Structure formats: structure tokens, C-alpha cells
Chain A
Amino acid sequence: MQEFSRLVPTTTQAAARAGAVPQASFIAGGTDLMQLWKNNVQAASLVVDLDRLDLRRISLDGPTLRIGALATMAEVAEHPDVKRRVPAASEALLAAASPQIRNMGTAGGNLLQRTRCGYFRDPGFACNKREPGSGCPAIAGENRELAILGGSGSCIATQPSDFPVPLVAADARVELHGADGQTRTVELEQLYRLPGDTPHIETVLRPGEVITAILVPDAPANRRATYVKVRDRQSYAYALASVAAGIELQGGVVRDVRLAAGGVGTRPWRLDASEATLRGQRLSPALIEQAAARATDGAQPHAKNAFKVTLLRNTVRRALQAVTA
């Protein structure tokens, strides 16, 4: 692990300024960073500790649910307003990591967790994401866990976090505070960049930009929602495929529907074609079947992860059955 010094700013503005320095890194829960640092996948010479910032609160701001970026995963999962407004986000967090890690990891940190691709996590291998231009051994190698949607010839790594999946489905936005003192909000889905030929640039965050909050709009389809996660073992594992499904029905007709998938895409993947299949139609098992089939539109399976095509369709079907039951 590289040596670093640590700053503990008390205002978001001071943190943003300090974080804009090259080689600086924010630390929130530290649960992903500690792994990355110990394995020399990532290094920082200045660690900007977000611990003292007043960004822990979860509150209602009229129709908007505001989740402070530094609230822990456990705090978010158990908050009554989160459970009422976006129950799928609470379920996703409770299906993520372990109770100990959920007491440490934060809402903002989970959004920015880096890929679990084994080549990326081991500096003994080439990896375009870790070392731009060095190549991607995963495409012809161990790609069982990797993406079937959104990949490129440079990288097929999945964004592995559970929390952003229901949030992307819920049309959440993130609030950002820049080093120049300006704040802006960005659609969460648009926070993530597709790999293209620059897989090392993962988000649209500018140097020093701090995520201050996650903003979730209120909608009937966000309130009636669920999260289904499929893993190799029953608990304490990353998703092979996961689906957040939210629905609003009126007299058996789909008025609104939101679907997003995790574990299959290079970012949390909104399932637009499946939603379009359902919207305005009378719900039936056949319609759910059609929607599930459209989930893999554009999928590019690789030698070891072709099973995810079937798995994703089945997970969409399961999630839709569960949320409409």
C-alpha cells in the first residue's frame, strides 16, 4: 500500500477543493478502498476523509427523498422513509455484502464501488481499466461474472453494486458539489460512463466533485417495487443477475413500470425495451414473458457468461411476478 497523508475537512467545500488535487482520494466507509489499496490496484498520496461532513441525514423534501451520501448502507436500508418510498432500495442493500460491511459502507461509496473483475483486482494481469492500453484478458478469458450488456472491445466489466440498481429504476439523481463551489445534479444512470475505449474513466465526476446526496422522486411505481438478486450462494455474494422492478397498475393495465438490472451490465442497466413492452398494456403472464424476452435486447454474451442471457430473462420474469402478486 502506498503511503498517504490524511486530511479531515469539516466542510464539503474544503473537501471538494482538497479532493481536486491529483493523487487525492476521498474516503467514506473505506470498505472498497482498503481492498484496492492493499492490493495495489489503486493508490493515493492524499486521503480526504469525509467522516466529519454533515452528509448523513435521510429526509423528505416534499416529494423528494433525500439520502445523504455518507449515511451507512445499514442506516439507509432500515430507514422508514426509504422503506416506504423505495422499498426495492432497502431490499437491495439488505442483500448486499454483510451486516458488518453495511455498518461501514456508505450510500455514496456503494455507487462508486469499482468492478470485481478478477483481472482488474490483481495487478499481475493486464487490464485496460487499471492500466489503459494494456489489454483486456477477460474477453477471451474468465468472464463468467462479467457483463453481457454495455461492453466494448476494451472492457466488459460489470458495475457490481446492488444499491444503484433500484435507484436507476426509480429515476434517482445524485447531487454533486464541485471544487469550484458549484453544485449540480445528474441522473444517476448518467453518472456512469460506458467503457467504450476509455474503460478507466468510469463516471462523469469532475476532479474533487463530492456526491452529497441521492435524490429519489416519489412515484407509485417506486413505492410498489421489489429487488430480486440471484447469486452463486444464498447470501454474502455479488449478483450474477439482479432486477429491480416497480409497477403501477390501474384496473389490470400497466400505467407505469420501472425495470433495471444489476450484475449483467457495465453500469446499472435500465431495461427500456421491457418497460415499453409492458407500458399501457393489460398485464398477463404472456405479456410478462414478452417483457422478459426483451430484457436481453442487444446482449453480447461471451464464452463463459452466455448463461446470463437466460438468467436475466428469468430474473425479470420472477421480479415482475413478485411485484404484481
Chain B
Amino acid sequence: MTAPITRRDLIGTSAAAAALPMPSLADAPAPAAPAAPAVAALTINGQVHRVAIDQRTSLLDALREHIGLTGTKKGCDHGSCGACTVHVDNKRVLACLVLAHRVEGRAVTTIEGLAQGDTLHPMQAAFLAHDGYQCGYCTPGQIMSAVSLVEEGHTQSEAEIAEWMSGNLCRCGAYTNIRAAIQDAARAKRA
């Protein structure tokens, strides 16, 4: 880990800095000191959580390690698997590629926020009814993605569902049942 760099260091006199034309930062807001974790007020499932986290913290780690919401899963941590899918302002995104501090002021929904009390969200119920999983590890991400998919309207055919669910991998290969669950939930919603 390198030493923390302050704003003064960046404006100041280092040799590397002197080699480039140095712009003034006068009209730029001051950055927070990097070393100290800064408090982020994160709105998760309608509730505000204040957490002291480093600027580098991903939304995924903030949820799991700092807020204790472990429903959102870490598969690859690199944007490849979809296990960490959550909604930010009603759009599906990958929590492992989001810096937590950047979603302050936005509405984050995780798998824990779908059910109304003891009543499952229709997509959760459809996954249950169709056995849309085996080990269940990819399931929260699949369901969050599937809820958005129905909102987006990409459920006209099984092929369309497959294409628009391609960002969610399932190592157990439960794809057939996952697609059946989504088709069912989409049909129920249209009806």
C-alpha cells in the first residue's frame, strides 16, 4: 500500500508533477482525505445506513461486510457472473463494479428488499415453483436480473429471455428452469 496522497501533494512540488503543465484546482471541490474511511449514507431497501467505508469499497462489500446484507452474492468480483446483481434507481447493475460512495443519494434494492413481509415477490415465488436453482448461489442475482428483465419487457420468447439473462451465469446449469420461471412470472404480470 502506498502512502496516502493529499490534495496538497497533488498541487505541490513533486518532480513528476512539475514535468506536466499544472492546472489550478481552484475551481475543483476539495477531495476527502483518502486514508480515513468516510461516512456514506446508503439507502438500501428504503432504509438509510450510515457506514464508514474507504473510497475503494465496492457496493457489494459494503452490503455484505459492512451492512450485513449477505443475500447479494460474490461470485467473480469482476463483472463476469451476475451473482451480485442489485438495482440502483430501479436499474439492474453489478454491485461488484460499483464504488459504494458513488450511490449515495440513490435507491439501492437488494434481494432482501423484494418480499413484502412474508409474501414473496412473484419472481421469487416463480423460482420456487419451477425449481429455478440447484445450489442456489446464483439465485439472488438471477432473480434481481429477472425482475428487471420483466420491467424492461424483454420476455417475448425464450430466446429473448436467454439473451437478456446472459449476464447471469449458473454453474449448476439450472437455465431451463430459470427461463421457465421467468416466462411464468412475465405471463402472470401481463395477465
Contact = CB atoms under 8 A, between A and B. Distances in A.
B25 interface: yes
Contacts of A20: 20-23
A8 interface: yes
A34 B55 contact: no
Given A47-B55, A100-B92, A5 B5 contact: yes
B125 interface: no
A6 B23 contact: no
Contact of B85 (A34, A74, A100): A100
Pairs of residues from A and B, 5 with the lowest C-beta to C-beta distance, nearest first: A98-B167, A5-B31, A235-B166, A17-B23, A5-B34
A99 interface: yes
B28 A7 contact: yes
Interface of A: 1-11, 13-18, 20-24, 27, 29-31, 34-35, 37-38, 45-47, 49, 51, 74, 97-101, 103-104, 179-180, 207-208, 234-236
A35 B79 contact: yes
A18 B23 CA distance: 7
A23 B79 contact: no
A45 B27 contact: no
B99 A98 contact: no
A6 B31 contact: yes
Interface stretch (B42-50, B132-140, B145-153, B174-182): B145-153
Chain A CB count within 10 A is highest, among B27, B30, B31, B92, for B31
B170 interface: no
Interface in B14-36: 16-17, 19-25, 27-35
A8 B98 CA distance: 15
B69 to A, nearest CB: 18
A21 B56 contact: no
B145 A100 contact: yes
Given A17-B23, A208-B23, A235-B163, A3 B4 contact: yes
Interface in B56-97: 56, 58, 77-79, 82, 85, 91-94, 96-97
A35 B155 CA distance: 31
Nearest to A3: B34
A165 to B, nearest CB: 20
Contacts of A3: 1-2, 4-5, 34-35, 54-56
Given A20-B20, A45-B10, A98 B97 contact: no
B167 A236 contact: yes
Given A3-B54, A99-B149, A34 B28 contact: no
Chain B CB count within 10 A is highest, among A13, A103, A235, for A103
Given A3-B34, A99-B149, A207-B20, A38 B98 contact: no
Chain B CB count within 10 A is highest, among A24, A51, A100, for A100
B150 to A, nearest CB: 12
A45 B5 contact: yes
Contacts of B162: 235
Contact of B93 (A18, A46, A103, A207): A103
Chain B CB count within 10 A is highest, among A13, A23, A74, for A23
Contacts of A235: 162-163, 166
Contacts of A34: 58, 79, 96-99
Given A21-B10, A98-B82, A9 B29 contact: yes
A121 to B, nearest CB: 10
